[in-house]
Structure 1
Amino acid sequence: MRPPDDRRRRFEDLYRANHDPVLGYVVRRTSNGHDAADVFAETFLTVWRRLDDVPAGEKARPWLFGVARRVLANHHRGERRHTALTARLASELSAIQHLREEPADMDALAEAFAELSDGYREVLSLADWEGPSAAEIGIVLGCSTTAVRIRLHRARRRLARALLEDPPRRTARAQVQEGDPV
């Protein structure tokens, strides 16, 4: 490992020599200046952390472009996740708003939810009300992340199917299950 002053001097030399080319590379591959600044900063933060891995001489710039490319890939993945999450939340909020506008739908939802098995109600409650990840739900329920995802999928599918049924059929089925006369 180099002494601190040599390390700092090497980083500053790399930064000065490659600032404009790396910044241009990043700016052309991002949608706005803020994203470009973030990716550029993360690129040189990585360079600082891995300074001993940076090749000497003319091989340094291609190595820096490689780092910038990987930082950009992470940035774009994050943007896609953010966009998908935003769309999902907008859809869920729209559905919640729709349910609030029509109280009868809320009653139907509560009735359909009550008809689910305890296990399906628990996994839905955890996922949709408490908000932990599938791995965290797995810890709570004592099962694997894959099992949580499968249970959650099945529970949502059964809840959706129950909501599509006619209310009289659903009520009659619930009464039969409880032992009440139809």
Structure 2
Amino acid sequence: MDVSAGIEHEDLFRQVYAANFEPLLAYALRRVAQPEDAADVVAEVFLVAWRRGREMPPEEEIRLWLYGVARRVLANHHRGTLRRERLGERLRHRLRDAFSVDPGSQVPERLVVRSALARLGELDREVLMLTFWEGLEPREIAAVLRVNPSVVRTRLSRARARLRELLRDDPGPAGHELDVMAVRISEEGR
């Protein structure tokens, strides 16, 4: 590689990074449990972008390409998380059996919308999240997911209807409202 090509690659990468870091971080933050994980996901996305810089699409498609890379990085992240959780569960069972103590604790219940989203299929959930959280149009979502735009429009319509149905049918656990966790007060405490 000649020096001028290396400098051009660096300049392009810096521009891509500056223009896309915040949207990609927001994308990742909405899809992981811990903010530190989002930072790791974004770092890996930009590592891929650096390594595959010559394969990057034209400027108007770069963000969509990065969302596609982020989607695959997140899939790997979630698979790794699942493996770690399974390993942790096996360890908890062994400890519980060995010491007759349950070291686990209850995990707080999810909020109503997150719960409803979790009951949707993966593609439906991703189409909704890309539409409402990332602000992408169906043609852009199609590029990220590598599907036909008509598939996205159909999925989006069905996913909206299914989400409305889930939210209507399940008002959620007591003490929860959409984005606010409420604490129950016992009769004695009133």
- Greater helix fraction, Structure 1 or Structure 2: 1
- Alpha-carbon separation, structure 2, partners of 1:77 and 1:50: 23
Q: Percentage identity across aligned positions?
A: 46
The corresponding residue for 1:62 is: 64
Displacement after TM superposition at 1:60 (Å): 0.8
The corresponding residue for 1:44 is: 46
2:21 to 15, 19, 30: 19
The amino acid across from 2:28 in the alignment is V
Q: TM-score, normalised by structure 1?
A: 0.51
Q: What count of residue pairs does the alignment treat as equivalent?
A: 98
- Alpha-carbon separation, structure 2, partners of 1:38 and 1:19: 12
Greater length-normalized contact order (CA 8 Å, ≥ 6 residues apart): 2
Cα deviation 1:135-168 (Å, max 9, x = unaligned): xxxxxxxxxxxxxxxxxxxxxxxxxxxxxxxxxx
Q: Which runs of 5+ in 2 are unaligned?
A: 101-190
- Alpha-carbon separation, structure 2, partners of 1:90 and 1:70: 30
Q: Which runs of 5+ in 1 are unaligned?
A: 99-182
- Alpha-carbon separation, structure 2, partners of 1:8 and 1:19: 16
Greater than 2 Å deviation, 4+ residue runs: 93-98
The corresponding residue for 2:37 is: 35
Q: TM-score, normalised by structure 2?
A: 0.49
Displacement after TM superposition at 1:66 (Å): 0.2
Larger Rg: 1
- Alpha-carbon separation, structure 1, partners of 2:32 and 2:85: 15
